[in-house]
Amino acid sequence: MRYILYSAMWYEEDDYKMITTALILPLMAAAPSQFNVVSDKLEYRNLATVESATEFETFTGKTTKVSGSFMFDPDKKSGSGSFSVDLGSLDTGIPTRNEHLRSPMWLDSAKYPVAKFESTKVAYGSGDKYKVTGKFTLHGVTRTLTLPVQLKYRAESEETKKVGFAGSVAHVFTRFSVKLADYGIKIPDVAKGKVNPEVSITVSAYATTK
């Protein structure tokens, strides 16, 4: 039987291992991890939408091209990061409308290819709900917004592996509204009544640690 001197006391080797493990594991669990939004073969699981609804017309633009990364500590319920959405890939279901949406008259996606949100403050609420404040950039204009965010965390397991994820998984979802005029986007006379001056944006993205 071996004894080890630790903190001015002698312990049996097995007891010492248990003590050090108990001390180290909480430190390991508390460490924040970097999550990267899935892409390539898993890109289809992401979804960003922009919706306009008026008395005369409703349409939704959709894309799976969401990118970003963030740090998240599941124990402290804290983190920071950024997300981007590829505006040039938004699909409303009508090719001509897609062209109009990407044109200089609207999003001008050739000049401003992405909409981006970068967090500056994260406030935990309850359950899996957070309030995230940050800088939202659209059409070359940046404004401060506070978004309601739902983040569901799953530690790496056989279940997460079976559904194709590598590492621990975080599902991030937010829905918020913006006024087009706040970002320098003017609705032409021909589209008034068919495009809402305030549109709804949703982002649903999956991110993993590997």
Residue whose structure tokens are 């935990």: 124
173 and 131 assigned to the same domain = yes
Q: Does residue 172 share a domain with residue 97?
A: yes
Write out the residue range of the structural domain in which residue 15 sits. Answer: 1-30
Q: Say how many CA atoms lie within 13 Å of 45 toward its Cβ.
A: 18
> Are 16 and 38 within one domain?
no
Is 69 in contact with 209 (CB distance < 8 Å)? Answer: no
Tell me which residue of 90, 33, 43, 45 sits closest to 210, measured CA to CA: 33
For residue 25, the model assigns a pLDDT of: 46
pLDDT score, position 182: 98
Same domain, 5 and 106: no
Judge if 9 and 108 occupy the same domain. no
Question: What span, in angstroms and rounded, lies between the C-alpha atoms of 11 and 13?
Answer: 6
Judgement on whether residues 122 and 36 belong to the same structural domain of the protein: yes
Is the Cα torsion angle 138, 91, 203, 181 positive or negative in sign? Answer: positive
Segments in the chain below pLDDT 50: 3-6, 16, 25-30
Q: Which two tokens stand for residue 11?
A: 């312990």
List the beta bridge partners of residue 149. 130, 174
Note whether 177 and 196 are same-domain residues.
yes
What is the model's pLDDT at position 51?
98
Same domain, yes or no, for 40 and 119?
Answer: yes
How far is Cα 122 from Cα 138, in angstroms, rounded to an integer? Answer: 21
Counting the structural domains of the chain, the total is 2
- Together in a domain, 132 and 49: yes
Note whether 70 and 95 are same-domain residues. Answer: yes
**CATH code of the domain containing 188:** 2.40.128.110
Do 131 and 182 belong to one domain?
yes
CA distance 164 to 149: 24
pLDDT at 13: 59
Supply the pLDDT for residue 31.
74
